[in-house]
Amino acid sequence: MISYFDTSVLLAALITKHELHDKAKLTLQKALSSGTAVSTTTYAYAELYRNITKPTKFGIHLSPAAAAETIINGIGNLLTIVELTKADYEAAISRCSELGLMSSVIYDALHYEAALKAGAEVLYTDNLRDFTRLQLEGETMRIEGIR
C-alpha cells in the first residue's frame, strides 16, 4: 500500500504546538511503521519551508538552516518524494478546469496529481473538502482527513 501525505499533515506532525500535532504524528508514524510506502511531492518541500520559517500563531519558526535540515534530512529521508513534471501540472490544471474549480484549489490539485502519480491508495490531509471535490468519478483513492 502507498500512503500520500499533503503539507497540512506533515506540517502538523512537525509543529508540536499545532492543534493536530498528535493526530498527524500518529497517522504518519502508523504509516511508516506498517511497512507501507509513504510519499509526498517536491512541492511540499517548498510549502513546508515557507510555513516553518515564518513566524506563526504557534509562536515558533525555524531558522533557514534548521528548516532545511528538518525538511531535507528529516522528512526527505522518511518519505518517497514524487517529482511533478509539466504534464503533471497540466493534468492538475485540466482537472480543476473540468470540475469548474478556481483559485488556490490548484495547489491541492498538485498534491492530488502527485498522489495519483505515486499510486497512493490513501491521501491524508487536513483539507478534506478541497481534496474530495478534486476526485473524479471512478477514481478510487481514499481521501482521509485527520480532524
Q: Which three cell numbers stand for residue 11?
A: 506540517
CB 17 within 8 A of CB 59: yes
Summary mean pLDDT of the chain: 94
Q: What is the pLDDT of residues 88-146, one digit of tens each?
A: 999 999 999 999 999 999 999 999 999 999 999 999 999 999 999 999 999 999 999 99
**CA–CA separation, 64 and 147 (whole Å):** 29
**Residue from 51, 68, 45 nearest 114 by CA:** 45
